[in-house]
C-alpha cells in the first residue's frame, strides 16, 4: 500500500525548517504532478488568516488549528497588539510553537490615516520577526511605503476588500497602484472579495502573480456584491483550477483560509475547507 501523506509531510517539513517565525516565504519544493500542466517548485502551505478567529482568544484559536493540523497563522492585532512588548511577543511565539504553529505574517493592519501608522506597522512586523506585512494604506502614502520596504527588506501586501472598498476593491486596482513601485510592494489577494467585485480570480492569478505575496483563500456564494463567504468547495470559484493556476505560475506564498461564515462557531466550516484544499492539492500532486 502506497503511503500518501504529501500534504501532511510538507507541513511537518515546513515546521522543521521554519524555526520560530523566521520563514516568511515558502521553500521551493518540487512537485511531480501527474498533470503535466502542473509546474514544479510549488509551495502549498495552508495557513489561517487571523480574522477567521475574530471572536476567539489565542488559546481557543490555536486549539482549533491544532485540531485541523494547520501550521501557519497570519497574526491579527487582536491576538497580538501592536503595542505588545518584546516579552509579550516572545511569549506569543512560544505559545504558537507549543501548538506547532508558526506566525508567518502580520495583518491586515489598517494604516490609511497617517505615516505614523505606517511606521508603527513596520516596527511591529520587525519586532514580531516576520518579513511580510498585510496592510490597508492610503494611496498617497504608497511611495512612502515603497521606501519602507527597502529600509526593512520586507514585502508589503495590500488587501483588496470588494465592491464596498473605495480604495482597493479588487486585484487590478492594487496591481495598478504598486506596479511601478518597489517589487516588494504587492497584493494580499482576497480571491473572494475580488470575485464579489465581478473579477475572475483565476485569471487574476495569472495576471498578477508576480505581485501576489499572500492569499486569503475562500469561496463565495455569488460573483456579485451580495456574495457571501462559504465553505471552500461550495462556492462559485473553481478551486481545483485555482490551485492548478497557482501551481502553474509557481506561487510561493501561503494560502491563508479566511472563513467569514459561522464566525461564532467556525470550526466545522474551517475544517471542511481545510479538507477540501488538501484533497485538491493531493489530487493534483
Cell triple for 264: 461564532
| Residue 124: DSSP 8-state | H
The 66-105 site mask, x for binding a copy of itself (CB under 8 A), equals -xxx------------------------------------
How many residues contact a copy of itself, by CB under 8 A? 45
Position 156 contacts a copy of itself (CB under 8 A) = no
Cell triple for 180: 511601478
User: Which backbone phi and psi does 191 adopt, to 5 degrees?
Assistant: -65, -25
Question: Which of 128, 195, 212, 255 is in the footprint of a copy of itself by CB under 8 A?
Answer: 195
What b/e string do you get for 34-55 counting C-beta neighbours within 10 Å, with b at 16 or more? eeeebbeebbbbbbbbbbbbee
Minimum CB distance to a copy of itself, residue 18 (Å): 20
Position 272 contacts a copy of itself (CB under 8 A) = yes
Minimum CB distance to a copy of itself, residue 259 (Å): 12
Minimum CB distance to a copy of itself, residue 69 (Å): 7
In this chain, which stretch among 87-95, 172-180, 233-241, 249-257 interacts with a copy of itself, using CB under 8 A? 233-241
Position 112 contacts a copy of itself (CB under 8 A) = no
Question: Which of 20, 22, 28, 35 is in the footprint of a copy of itself by CB under 8 A?
Answer: 35
Minimum CB distance to a copy of itself, residue 34 (Å): 7
The H or E element spanning position 107 is strand 102-111
Cell triple for 76: 491579527
Q: Which is nearer to a copy of itself, 9 or 28 (CB)?
A: 9
Position 226 contacts a copy of itself (CB under 8 A) = no
Which segments of the chain does DSSP mark as H helices, in order? 6-18, 58-68, 86-98, 115-128, 142-152, 171-178, 191-196, 201-208, 239-249, 267-284
The H or E element spanning position 137 is strand 132-137
**If we measure between CA atoms, which residue out of 83, 99, 281, 74 comes closest to residue 189?**
74
Residues that bind a copy of itself (CB under 8 A): 1-5, 7-8, 34-35, 67-69, 195, 200-202, 223, 231-241, 267-269, 271-284
Amino acid at each position: 500500500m502506497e503511503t500518501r501523506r504529501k500534504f501532511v509531510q510538507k507541513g511537518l517539513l515546513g515546521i522543521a525548517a521554519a524555526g520560530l517565525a523566521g520563514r516568511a516565504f515558502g521553500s521551493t519544493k518540487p512537485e511531480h504532478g501527474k498533470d503535466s500542466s502542473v509546474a514544479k517548485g510549488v509551495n502549498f502551505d495552508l495557513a489561517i488568516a487571523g480574522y477567521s478567529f475574530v471572536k476567539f482568544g489565542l488559546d481557543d484559536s490555536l486549539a482549533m488549528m491544532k485540531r485541523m493540523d494547520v501550521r501557519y497563522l497570519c497574526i491579527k492585532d487582536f491576538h497580538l497588539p501592536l503595542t505588545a512588548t518584546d516579552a509579550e511577543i516572545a511569549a506569543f511565539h512560544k505559545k504558537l510553537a507549543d501548538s506547532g504553529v508558526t506566525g508567518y505574517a502580520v495583518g491586515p493592519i489598517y494604516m490609511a490615516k497617517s505615516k505614523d501608522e505606517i511606521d508603527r506597522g513596520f516596527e511591529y512586523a520587525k519586532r514580531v520577526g516576520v518579513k511580510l506585512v498585510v496592510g490597508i494604506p492610503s494611496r498617497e502614502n504608497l511611495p512612502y511605503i515603497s521606501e519602507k520596504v527597502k529600509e526593512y527588506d520586507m514585502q508589503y501586501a495590500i488587501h483588496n476588500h470588494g465592491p464596498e472598498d473605495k480604495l482597493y476593491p479588487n486585484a487590478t486596482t492594487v496591481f495598478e497602484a504598486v506596479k511601478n513601485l518597489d517589487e516588494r510592494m504587492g497584493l494580499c489577494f482576497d480571491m473572494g472579495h475580488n470575485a464579489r467585485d465581478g473579477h475572475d480570480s483565476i485569471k487574476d492569478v495569472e495576471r498578477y502573480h508576480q505581485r501576489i505575496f499572500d492569499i486569503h483563500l475562500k469561496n463565495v456564494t455569488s460573483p456579485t456584491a451580495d456574495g457571501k463567504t462559504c465553505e471552500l468547495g461550495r462556492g462559485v470559484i473553481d478551486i481545483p483550477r485555482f490551485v492548478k493556476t497557482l501551481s502553474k505560475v509557481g506561487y510561493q506564498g501561503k494560502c491563508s483560509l479566511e472563513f467569514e461564515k459561522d464566525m461564532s462557531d467556525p470550526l466545522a466550516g474551517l475544517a471542511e475547507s481545510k479538507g477540501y484544499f488538501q484533497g485538491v492539492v493531493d489530487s493534483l500532486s
